[in-house]
Structure 1
Amino acid sequence: MRIAVFGSTGFVGQAAARRLQDVAGHLLSVTSPRLTTAAREVPDLEKAALAVGPSLIEDLTRDLTGVDVVVNCAGLARPTASADDALYGANALLPVVLYRASAAAGVSKFVHVSSAAVLGSGTLRDGWESSPRTPYALSKALGEQGLELVSRQEEQCGLRILRPTSVHGPSRDVTRTLVRLARSSGATVAGDGGSPSPQVLVERVADMLHALVVMQDVPRHPLVQPWDGVTVRSILEDLGDGSRPRSLPMPLARSLVTLGSRVPHAWVKGQTRRVEMLWFGQAHEDGWLTRRGLAEPLDRDAWRQTGRRALEGGQL
């Protein structure tokens, strides 16, 4: 099987490339073009995709000729970013352009990494439903909608979309920040901290991408990352190497999040969403991947090792 990975030098892309080595007879790393777009709605995105220079599509199609599966890990993972054209170019226009080139090259499967952020604070579940609340989430949701449209036109190239939850690893800045928080006096949870937390290690995201490459009869609608048993309290305890976070009264925590969500600034909204996840977690509905047996029990040792390695410099 010949597999091409876009974004293979990025955080998720590196993990995916390592995981796919065992099924790839040939693993090809393809450089992603840098695109920008003013499109914020599907009709405008469709026009922007059609307006992309034919030479770019031809170059991508030539690079992908003979490839069986394309895995798109490219994009801008900036949850606190403002709504600029580069964000939408990377997260909305690029997936559509790559899918068009994949279909033209005769690729049989196109696996796209989206984000559970498109669901906002709602229940994490499979399907096309979305309720994005930040520019980053809006750009990811628009990318999904664009792929839904073009995949109906090119059905021979099977579309598979994964919505990872908040992804962690020793080398990631957001993980290091969370480790420092977990080991400080500021580590807090709302209530007893027993709610499911949408946090996942990058290796588990790579496992799901591997599954979407090799499994048959995968639904074409977005699939949410399985919940592996992480709770609001467990992640702080494990990354904190046993430190116990303090409990905040639920009404106080909810009031603070409501206040932050009303601030009309992308950075504040993004940070407020992170705090909301850390305090309250997020409801998680068993999806197709979970029903296929791909969820795993909480591996507290793996999280503890991640915390220690993050403090040591984040080397993989």
Structure 2
Amino acid sequence: MRVAVTGATGLVGHHVVAAALGGGHEVVAVTRPGRHLPQRLLALGEVGQERASLTDPVSLARALEGIDAVVHCAAVYSYHPAATEQLADVNVRGTRAVLEAAAAAGVTRAVVTSSAVTRGSSLQPLPRDERHHLGTEPAPEYYASKVRQEQAALDVSESTGLEVVLALPTVVLGGPYDRLGPSNAIVLRYLLDPTRSTFPGGCNVVDARDVGAGHVVLLERGEPGERYLLGGEDVSWRTLHGLVADLAGVGQPALELPAGAAWLAAGAAEAWARLTSSAPLSTREEASTVGRYYWYASDRARTIGYAARPAREAVAASLAWLAIGPDLPRFVRESLRLAPAVRAARPLEPRALPDPVDAGTGQGARPGPDAGAEGRDPGSARPLTPRRRPPRPAPPRRRRSPG
């Protein structure tokens, strides 16, 4: 199947591309005009590219020519008050434009990435499923945009005959990513909190790799017109923060603050962001959801082949990328004592060794661009020779005392 993936350079989109290639599909990444595919995406395999704007039906139609199915991951994921109009443009109107262009181009099937938050939350630790709805609880504009996105997708399906399946991921953790999103920021906030505080309520966390694979399961076997929750494990905030502490080697959560304290802390974060002209790590709109349980059951998706890792592995994946990213200050990074599970969550990438220096000339043989971790130049059978250590000086002789 020839599959177009919008938002392929994002966290979820990256893993959808990886899973689709692994499933034997041909993948075309649809990106913004002027955007080049990052090396991390090209390293997955042969990935085609088409450029289109969500506001330009002509470019969308051209990008989707000859495509069998679309996985629409492009979205704005933000709790910032200034993002309200962008949420409507991308998440709602953009989704409608992509699906209408897909139907016009002869595409027969589409998977649309929505969010589990459209199924609402509970005051009690009870999981919700696809039959539930977002009620009268606090709902940031991001939540509302996702509800409208789902309805727009189903409307296009009804009017055009395009088969649409809705994917509803929970809190997606891991990497790689080019920009810190609100989900991985949950882990980062605990690392930066000197008080090691936690809060009432909880969420469902899932590894990005499982969400990517889940989209391909829905692409191949999902029922048109249905929603499928793609979640991992339900955890309280205390349990989640405890996992972060254990895997990062920092202090365990000591104090459970009331939900209102999260709102006050977010207000302070917003004020600091205004002073420093930076993005806040949390907002009061996001903090208004603290104290509730965003717990979900993924039984419907599991019946057609979806599977997810435990929460501990999802948190380890998040830490593996945060530990090498620019969002974690150096003094915090150096204080971490990462567990082996964190180091194992991110595959090692072979890099060329530094040039060995010749003792006589001060110059050395430069390894080729594909030199592996074993330190050999693939263009030569000769191993790279390390610089010799100078001989140790002889110990001083003892003087005999006179007489």
**Aligned residue number for residue 352 of structure 2:** none
For 2:233, which of 228, 243, 264 is the aligned residue?
A: 228
> In the TM superposition, what whole-angstrom CA distance separates every residue of 1:266-288 from its partner, at most 9, and x where no partner exists?
94112332xx1xx6542324441
CA positional deviation for 1:69: 1.0
**Aligned residue number for residue 96 of structure 2:** 96
CA distance in structure 2 between the partners assigned to 1:200 and 1:80 by the alignment: 23
Aligned length: 283
CA positional deviation for 1:230: 4.2
> In the TM superposition, what whole-angstrom CA distance separates every residue of 1:165-190 from its partner, at most 9, and x where no partner exists?
12222445342562351474433334
Give the AA of the match of 1:201: D
Please give the residue correspondences for 1:259-298 in structure 2 after superposition, counting only pairs within 5 Å. Answer: 267-273=283-289, 276=290, 280-292=292-304, 294-296=306-308, 298=310
Question: Per the alignment, do residues 210 and 7 of structure 1 end up closer, same or farther by CA in structure 2, a change over 3 Å counting?
Answer: same
CA positional deviation for 1:110: 0.7
CA distance in structure 2 between the partners assigned to 1:99 and 1:178 by the alignment: 34
**Aligned residue number for residue 112 of structure 1:** 112
- Secondary structure at the counterpart of residue 167 of structure 1: strand
**Aligned residue number for residue 52 of structure 2:** none
- Secondary structure at the counterpart of residue 288 of structure 1: helix
Unpaired stretches in structure 2, ≥5 consecutive residues? 34-54, 271-281, 327-345, 348-403
**Aligned residue number for residue 75 of structure 1:** 75
CA positional deviation for 1:25: 3.8
**Aligned residue number for residue 376 of structure 2:** none
Question: Per the alignment, do residues 303 and 108 of structure 1 end up closer, same or farther by CA in structure 2, a change over 3 Å counting?
Answer: same
For 2:130, which of 120, 126, 133 is the aligned residue?
A: 126
CA distance in structure 1 between the partners assigned to 2:319 and 2:195 by the alignment: 17
**Aligned residue number for residue 152 of structure 1:** 158
CA distance in structure 1 between the partners assigned to 2:309 and 2:84 by the alignment: 39
CA distance in structure 2 between the partners assigned to 1:73 and 1:232 by the alignment: 27
CA positional deviation for 1:97: 0.8
Give the AA of the match of 1:236: H
Answer whether contact 2:188 2:322 (CA < 8 A) is retained: yes
CA positional deviation for 1:101: 0.9
Q: Which is greater in Rg?
A: 2
**Aligned residue number for residue 238 of structure 1:** 243
- Secondary structure at the counterpart of residue 141 of structure 1: helix
Give the AA of the match of 1:186: T
For 2:171, which of 142, 162, 166 is the aligned residue?
A: 166
CA distance in structure 1 between the partners assigned to 2:31 and 2:165 by the alignment: 21
Q: Percent identity at matched positions?
A: 23
> In the TM superposition, what whole-angstrom CA distance separates every residue of 1:91-129 from its partner, at most 9, and x where no partner exists?
100111111111111212111111123344346421583
Cα RMSD (Å) of the superposition?
3.5
CA positional deviation for 1:232: 2.9
CA distance in structure 2 between the partners assigned to 1:67 and 1:188 by the alignment: 49
Question: Per the alignment, do residues 260 and 223 of structure 1 end up closer, same or farther by CA in structure 2, a change over 3 Å counting?
Answer: farther
> In the TM superposition, what whole-angstrom CA distance separates every residue of 1:117-146 from its partner, at most 9, and x where no partner exists?
334434642158334711111112111111
CA distance in structure 2 between the partners assigned to 1:178 and 1:146 by the alignment: 32
Answer whether contact 1:19 1:206 (CA < 8 A) is retained: yes
CA distance in structure 2 between the partners assigned to 1:28 and 1:204 by the alignment: 21
Unpaired stretches in structure 1, ≥5 consecutive residues? 34-54
Answer whether contact 2:92 2:145 (CA < 8 A) is retained: yes
CA positional deviation for 1:196: 5.8
CA positional deviation for 1:147: 1.3
Please give the residue correspondences for 1:170-189 in structure 2 after superposition, counting only pairs within 5 Å. Answer: 170=175, 171=177, 173=180, 174=182, 175=184, 178-182=187-191, 184-189=193-198
Give the AA of the match of 1:238: L
Answer whether contact 1:65 1:105 (CA < 8 A) is retained: yes
Question: Per the alignment, do residues 199 and 160 of structure 1 end up closer, same or farther by CA in structure 2, a change over 3 Å counting?
Answer: same
Question: Per the alignment, do residues 271 and 312 of structure 1 end up closer, same or farther by CA in structure 2, a change over 3 Å counting?
Answer: same
CA distance in structure 1 between the partners assigned to 2:22 and 2:163 by the alignment: 22
Question: Per the alignment, do residues 124 and 80 of structure 1 end up closer, same or farther by CA in structure 2, a change over 3 Å counting?
Answer: farther
Give the AA of the match of 1:112: V
TM-score under structure 1 length normalisation? 0.75
- Secondary structure at the counterpart of residue 220 of structure 1: coil
**Aligned residue number for residue 30 of structure 2:** 30
For 1:215, which of 213, 221, 235 is the aligned residue?
A: 221
**Aligned residue number for residue 51 of structure 1:** none
> In the TM superposition, what whole-angstrom CA distance separates every residue of 1:229-280 from its partner, at most 9, and x where no partner exists?
54433322222225421242xxx6255569899xxx994112332xx1xx65
- Following TM superposition, the consecutive aligned residue runs of length 4 or more in structure 1 with deviations greater than 6 angstroms are 257-261
Question: Per the alignment, do residues 61 and 77 of structure 1 end up closer, same or farther by CA in structure 2, a change over 3 Å counting?
Answer: same
Question: Per the alignment, do residues 75 and 255 of structure 1 end up closer, same or farther by CA in structure 2, a change over 3 Å counting?
Answer: closer
CA distance in structure 1 between the partners assigned to 2:84 and 2:292 by the alignment: 30
- Secondary structure at the counterpart of residue 22 of structure 2: coil
